[in-house]
Amino acid sequence: MTGIRETVKQALPKPVLYALRDSRDAIKRWQQWPSATFDSRRRDTVERLAALKDIHKGKRCFIIGNGPSLKQMNLNCLKDEYTFGMNRFYLMFPELGFKTTYFVSINDLVVEQCAADLQTLDIPTFISWRGRQWVKPRKDLYYLFTTYTGPKFAEDIRGRLWESSTVTYVAMQIAFYMGFSQVILIGVDHSFTTQGKPNTTVISEGDDPNHFAGNYFGKGFRWQLPDLDGSELGYLRAREAYKAAGREILDATVGGKLTIYPKVEFTSLFKD
C-alpha cells in the first residue's frame, strides 16, 4: 500500500497534491471541532478565558524557553515580572525560589508523561484539548483547542490555535490575547544537539543535552525531534500580528540562533 501511495503522489501535480493534503487536514480539524466546542469541559474553559482578555493590557511579559542558555542567566530578576513557563520548566522552580505566572504545555508526549506534574501545578496552566485524557480538570486549568495543521495566528484563544511545531508559538498567542504589548523571549535557543528528521519520536538514551537540565528529557523519555523550519513559520506570523497591533516581540536569549525578532541584551531590560 505504501508503494502505491508513493506512486500516486509522484504522479499528481504538486498543486493537486497540496490541495488534497489541505482538504484532508481540514477534515481532521472538523472532526475535532464538535468536542472542542460542545464538551462541558471546553465550554467551561471558554467561559473562563473571557476573563483573561486584555487582563495585562500594555504590560510586558517574558516567555521562557527551555534551552541550555538559561544556565548562563541570572533569572532572579524575573520574580516580579509576568512570565510564561513551558513544558518542563517547572523543574527549575525550586532553584528559582518562585513559579512562573502562567504555564503552557501542548505536546502530547510531554503532557502524557508529565501529567502528574501538570495536574498538581498551582498556577494557571494551559494544555491542549487532546491532553484532557491525561490531565483532569482542576482550578486554573484551561483546555485550548490547538491543532497541528491550519496555519493561523489566533487573536482570540477561545477558538482554534495553530501550534506551528512549538509550544512557544502557542504562548505568544495567549500573551497577545491577554493584552501584553511587549513579549520578551529568553531560553529560546532555536538549536538542538540531537539531529534527525523533524517530528520523529525518539527515546532519550541518557542525559538531555538540548535543555537546561539533564533530566529534562532524561533517559527513557519519549520526545519529538524539533521542526525548526516549521516553528519559524509561526514565529513570522506572530511577528506580523504583534506589529500590526502596535506591539512587539523581542529576543533576549543568550546566544540564540533565532533571527526573526530584534535582539536585546537581557540585563539592559532591568536598568533604571
* pLDDT per residue as tens digits for the range 210-256: 999 999 999 999 999 999 999 999 999 999 999 999 999 999 999 99
Q: Which residue has the higher pLDDT, 10 or 25?
A: 10
Q: How confident is the model at residue 17 (pLDDT cuts 50, 70, 90)?
A: very low
Average pLDDT of the segment spanning 193-201 = 92
Domain assignment present for 248:
yes
Beta strands in the chain (DSSP E): 60-64, 82-86, 102-105, 125-128, 141-147, 160-162, 182-186, 201-203, 222-224, 248-251
For residue 71, the enclosing domain spans 39-270
Q: How many domains does the chain have?
A: 1
Q: What is the CATH number of the domain that holds 231?
A: 3.90.1480
Domain assignment present for 31:
no
Domain assignment present for 144:
yes
Residue that has been written with the C-alpha cell 500573551 in this structure: 175
pLDDT score, position 172: 98
Q: Percent of the chain, pLDDT > 90?
A: 83
Rounded to the nearest integer, the mean pLDDT of the chain is 91
Domain assignment present for 265:
yes
| CA distances (Å), origin 67, targets 46, 122, 185, 224 | 32, 24, 11, 15
On the question of pLDDT at 192 being above 70, the answer is yes
> pLDDT tens-digit profile of 39-56?
999 999 999 999 999 999
The three cell numbers locating residue 131: 491532553
d(C-alpha 138, C-alpha 256), whole Å: 35
Domain assignment present for 129:
yes
pTM over 0.85: yes
The set of residues, in sequence order, having a beta carbon less than 8 Å from that of 53 and lying 6+ positions away, is 177, 178, 179
Domain assignment present for 243:
yes
Quote the distance between the C-alpha of residue 126 and its chain's center: 10
The three cell numbers locating residue 62: 517574558
